[in-house]
Each structure stands twice: as structure tokens, then as C-alpha cells.
């Protein structure tokens, strides 16, 4: 009914007196009664006019139009929506109970402008290609390589006991002992923030060993916390560590292979070196090495010291590798260049040498690559021998060399020239061919 529609939209209480006067007028007009003067009006809180800030730019943005403020006000005046210049507001009479926000004003403007006159436009906005950060790509590659090589991911506590430094045989002046003290620790076992990821990995390996799990391989990507000063005056440095640990099947060279696989996957394979003088007290003195890339230390690996494995209750040889991701990121790259399949045949040569024990394989390989030049495609160490047939203080090392040119078939003179350059470089290091 008409009445239901009126009440559905709401009635203006301020029209009550006018309606009553009209009713009285009709009563007298039709002789239905006599009107007595005066009225009783109980209206404690009077309804005030609604006010909405006038924002032409916002209205145009909502409608997709380009109307002027003057044109909008002309439309609004037609429905008794007046403009207050002092406050820059649209004032709606009390019978307009649907005007409360800017979008309500925009609707009135749209009605008079004409819905059909509003132009059709496609939505506009900036769109970017979704991708993960470079740091996250490196971390994801670390996970992929570790899991491909049979490692399972673990997560260790960031809070540790200060006693772990003694378990790791760290000297009293070791920088790792400068740990951040927790002001409200749960107990002594969780009273400092870790400065190395080694303890957490060894605890995880120990737990698995005590539960009789065989051939365990674990990895962790987690932060260590290095204070810039003690007591703390600023936030510590947080460094993400890629930690690998294993016992059972596998040895030092297996762990080294996993490290090299990861570094190769992120484009770090051509300037990689190892320094056997790592000096890690928690690693075996003769089975450890710092990992060096382009002259900068990026991590270390080795067999855990027997005293340390005993203190953690691990009854097998245990191997660790720790890579410092902040040190790796400046060298990492995912750029790849395609190299076509070689069209010319390869030539192989074997090289057996008597080498002083203090010379590392990396030093030899550097000299061999320099002498071999562009035609040396590959070299691999296939034999190391120490025994009665080699004089004291020396060892026998044998390499397989593969030569190939991308431009033509190599001739014997090309191979001989490269071999002579290699032999000269080795001779300068005091290395002789094995007879």
C-alpha cells in the first residue's frame, strides 16, 4: 500500500505538526467538528538536518564522470539539497533520511546526469609480475639441493645454554662466546641467543642417533645472532646459516659434493677454493676446511671432532657444513648461458705427478687450468697414492685431462703446446712427473 511504502522509507517527524494542522483544517471544512486552539507536543530530541561534505572530485571518481561543481549543485538543488558555502557541506532536509555519505550525494548527481550518459571505461591500475626476492630464491635452491641429496629439514631453537661453548671446545676468547643474554629466560638451557648453528644441528643428530635412526641427513636454514656490542645498545646482526649435518653412509667428500652442488646451482663454481687451515676446534684437525670463494670465506665443512661427538652421544663419524648466506648472496647468480653441443672430437691425456704433501689439489688445478688455456675442457682427479713407492714428504696424484676446441679439430701440436705449458707451471712449483 501507499502507507507501507511511506513507512518503509521512513517518515519525517518534523512534518507531524503540519499534518495535524491539515487534518484539523479538513475537519472544520467538512463540518465534522470544531478545532480547539493549542497543541501538546512531546518531542525531546529534535531531528536535525543531515550534513555531508561536498567533494566533487570524489563524486567524479565514483561515477567516472567529469562534471563541474556548479553543475552538480544545480542537480542537487532540484531535490532540495542545498549547499552551505561556509562549511562546504550539502544540507539534506529531515525528510531525506537516505542522505548520509558522499556516495549518497553521488547517486543523486547520477540520477540527474543520466545513467546512460555515464561513459563506459575499462578499469585501470598498475600490475606487476609476481616473483619472490633474490634472497628467497637462493634459500629455495638450498632446500631443493639438500632434499635432492637426501637431507630432511629441521628447525632448532634460537635460545641455547652458555654451556654449549664448552661442549664445542671453543677457547675462552672465541668470538662465539659473546652471546646475547636473555633478560627473562625459561632457564639456563635457554638463556642466550645462539651465535652458531652447530650446536642445534648436533643436538638434532644426537636425538636421531639415540632413537636408533640410521644414516641420518639433516639441514637447517636459520639465523644466528651476532651482537654489535655488549651490553646491547642496538639490534644484533641476524645472519642466515645453511647448515648441513649427517652421520652413517657418507664421508667428508660426500658433504663436500653437496656443498659444491648447491654453489654450482647458484652460479658459484669457477672461483671456489678450500683452505685446510680452518682452525675449528669442534672439527677434526685433519678433516676440515674453510670454503673460500673469490678470496672471501663463505663457510666451512668437516668431520666433527671425536671428543665433541662423544659429548653429544653420537657413536658414529659425523660431518657438518655451514654456509653463511649473507656472504654468498653478492656472488650468487641465476643467469644461464646456453652452450651448444661440441661438434669437434675431444682428446684425453692422463697426468701423474709426484707432489709435495703441503700442496693442495686446488693449487694444482689452478696451474693446470692456466696452462691448458681455452682448449682444456675438463680435468678430474682420479688417484692419490702415498706409500713406499713415493719418497717421504710426497704423494702421487693423477689427473685426467680432456682437451677440445669449439672451432676446429685439435692437432697434436695444439695438445703438446698445452701440455708443455702445464708441465712448466707444475715444475715451477717443484712438482715432477711420476716415472
CATH of the domain at 232: 3.30.930.10
Question: Are 362 and 429 in the same domain?
Answer: yes
Question: Are 101 and 68 in the same domain?
Answer: yes
Interval 349-365: pLDDT, tens? 999 999 988 888 888 88
Q: Is residue 128 part of a domain?
A: no
Of 90, 117, 144, the one marking the end of a domain is 117
Question: Are 303 and 356 in the same domain?
Answer: no
Does the pLDDT of residue 207 top 90, yes or no?
yes
Does the pLDDT of residue 153 top 90, yes or no?
yes
- Rounded mean pLDDT of 130-157? 94
Longest dimension (CA), the chain: 143
Q: From CA 336, how far away is CA 265, in angstroms rounded?
A: 10
Of 87, 117, 147, the one marking the end of a domain is 117
Would you state the pLDDT for residue 339? 76
Per-residue pLDDT band for 200 (boundaries 50, 70, 90) equals very high
Question: Are 174 and 52 in the same domain?
Answer: no
Question: Are 233 and 188 in the same domain?
Answer: yes
Q: Is residue 127 part of a domain?
A: no
Query: What is the average pLDDT value for the chain, to the nearest integer?
Result: 91
Would you state the pLDDT for residue 12? 81
- Rounded mean pLDDT of 144-167? 95
Would you state the pLDDT for residue 417? 93
Of 117, 145, 170, the one marking the end of a domain is 117
Which strand (E) or helix (H) includes residue 401? strand 394-403
Question: Are 315 and 363 in the same domain?
Answer: no
Q: Is residue 45 part of a domain?
A: yes
Would you state the pLDDT for residue 109? 94
Q: Is residue 158 part of a domain?
A: yes
100 Cβ contact partners less than 8 Å away, ≥ 6 residues apart: 50, 52
Does the pLDDT of residue 210 top 90, yes or no?
yes
CB 342 within 8 A of CB 406: yes
Question: Are 206 and 317 in the same domain?
Answer: yes
Would you state the pLDDT for residue 14? 83
Q: Is residue 334 part of a domain?
A: no
Would you state the pLDDT for residue 35? 84
Segments in 228-360 forming alpha helices (H) = 252-265, 306-311, 325-328
CB 195 within 8 A of CB 225: yes
Residue percentage of the chain with pLDDT more than 90:
63
Question: Are 181 and 39 in the same domain?
Answer: no
Does the pLDDT of residue 128 top 80, yes or no?
no
Interval 303-345: pLDDT, tens? 999 999 999 999 999 999 999 999 999 999 998 887 778 889 9
Q: Is residue 336 part of a domain?
A: no
Per-residue pLDDT band for 202 (boundaries 50, 70, 90) equals very high
Question: Are 232 and 148 in the same domain?
Answer: yes
Would you state the pLDDT for residue 152? 97
- All three cell numbers of 66, joined, read 567529469
CB 331 within 8 A of CB 193: no
Would you state the pLDDT for residue 78? 93
Q: From CA 312, how far away is CA 310, in angstroms rounded?
A: 5
CB 287 within 8 A of CB 256: no
Q: Is residue 245 part of a domain?
A: yes
Query: Picking from 7-16, 278-287, 366-375, which range would have the lowest pLDDT averaged per residue?
Result: 7-16
Does the pLDDT of residue 31 top 90, yes or no?
no
Per-residue pLDDT band for 123 (boundaries 50, 70, 90) equals confident
Question: Are 225 and 259 in the same domain?
Answer: yes
Per-residue pLDDT band for 300 (boundaries 50, 70, 90) equals very high
| pTM of the shown model | 0.66
Would you state the pLDDT for residue 387? 84
* CATH number of the domain residue 103 falls in: 3.30.56.10
Question: Are 366 and 322 in the same domain?
Answer: no
Would you state the pLDDT for residue 142? 97
Q: From CA 351, how far away is CA 419, in angstroms rounded?
A: 9
Q: From CA 406, how far away is CA 404, in angstroms rounded?
A: 7
Q: Is residue 292 part of a domain?
A: yes
Would you state the pLDDT for residue 224? 96
Would you state the pLDDT for residue 209? 96
Domain range for 177 is 134-328
**Whole-angstrom distance between the N-terminal and C-terminal Cα of the chain?**
117
Give the chain's domain count. Answer: 3
- Rounded mean pLDDT of 2-24? 81
Interval 410-421: pLDDT, tens? 999 999 999 999
Does the pLDDT of residue 5 top 80, yes or no?
no
Amino acid at each position: 500500500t501507499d502507507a507501507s511504502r511511506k513507512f518503509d522509507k521512513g517518515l519525517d517527524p518534523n512534518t507531524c505538526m503540519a499534518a495535524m494542522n491539515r487534518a484539523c483544517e479538513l475537519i472544520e471544512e467538512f463540518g465534522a467538528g470544531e478545532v480547539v486552539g493549542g497543541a501538546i507536543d512531546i518531542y525531546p530530541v529534535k531531528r536535525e538536518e543531515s550534513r555531508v561534505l561536498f567533494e566533487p572530485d570524489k563524486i567524479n571518481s565514483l561515477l567516472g564522470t567529469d562534471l563541474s561543481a556548479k553543475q552538480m549543485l544545480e542537480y542537487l538543488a532540484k531535490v532540495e539539497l542545498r549547499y552551505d558555502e561556509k562549511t562546504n557541506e550539502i544540507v539534506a532536509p529531515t525528510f531525506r533520511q537516505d542522505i548520509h555519505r558522499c556516495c549518497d550525494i553521488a547517486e543523486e548527481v547520477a540520477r540527474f546526469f543520466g545513467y546512460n550518459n555515464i561513459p563506459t571505461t575499462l578499469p585501470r591500475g598498475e600490475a606487476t609480475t609476481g616473483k619472490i626476492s633474490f634472497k628467497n630464491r637462493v634459500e629455495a635452491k638450498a632446500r631443493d639441493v639438500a632434499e635432492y641429496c637426501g637431507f630432511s629439514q629441521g628447525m632448532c631453537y634460537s635460545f641455547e645454554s652458555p654451556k654449549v661453548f664448552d661442549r664445542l671446545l671453543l677457547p675462552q676468547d672465541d668470538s662465539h662466546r659473546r652471546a646475547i643474554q636473555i633478560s627473562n629466560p625459561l632457564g639456563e638451557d635457554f638463556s642466550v641467543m645462539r651465535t652458531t648453528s652447530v650446536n642445534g644441528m648436533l643436538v638434532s643428530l644426537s636425538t636421531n642417533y639415540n632413537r636408533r635412526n640410521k644414516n641420518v641427513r639433516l639441514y637447517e636454514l636459520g639465523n644466528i645472532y651476532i651482537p654489535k656490542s655488549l651490553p646491547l645498545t642496538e639490534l644484533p646482526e641476524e645472519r642466515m646459516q645453511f647448515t648441513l649435518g649427517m652421520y652413517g653412509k657418507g664421508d667428508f667428500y660426500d658433504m663436500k659434493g653437496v656443498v659444491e652442488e648447491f654453489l654450482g646451482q647458484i652460479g658459484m663454481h669457477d672461483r671456489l677454493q678450500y683452505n685446510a687451515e680452518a682452525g675449528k676446534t669442534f672439527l677434526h684437525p685433519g678433516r676440515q676446511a674453510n670454503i673460500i670463494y673469490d678470496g672471501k670465506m663463505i663457510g666451512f665443512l668437516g668431520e666433527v671432532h671425536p671428543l665433541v661427538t662423544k659429548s653429544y652421544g653420537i657413536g658414529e663419524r659425523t660431518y657438518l657444513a655451514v654456509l653463511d648466506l649473507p656472504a654468498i648472496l653478492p656472488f650468487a647468480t641465476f643467469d644461464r648461458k646456453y652452450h651448444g653441443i661440441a661438434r669437434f672430437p675431444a682428446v684425453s691425456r692422463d697426468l701423474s705427478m709426484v707432489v709435495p704433501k703441503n700442496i693442495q689439489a686446488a693449487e694444482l688445478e689452478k696451474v693446470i687450468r692456466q696452462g691448458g688455456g681455452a682448449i682444456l675442457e675438463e680435468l678430474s682427479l682420479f688417484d692419490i697414492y702415498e706409500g713406499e713407492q713415493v719418497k717421504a714428504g710426497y704423494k702421487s696424484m693423477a689427473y685426467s685431462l680432456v682437451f677440445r676446441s669449439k672451432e676446429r679439430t685439435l692437432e697434436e701440436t695444439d695438445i703438446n703446446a698445452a701440455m708443455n705449458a702445464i708441465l712448466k707451471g707444475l715444475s715451477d712449483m717443484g712438482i715432477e712427473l711420476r716415472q
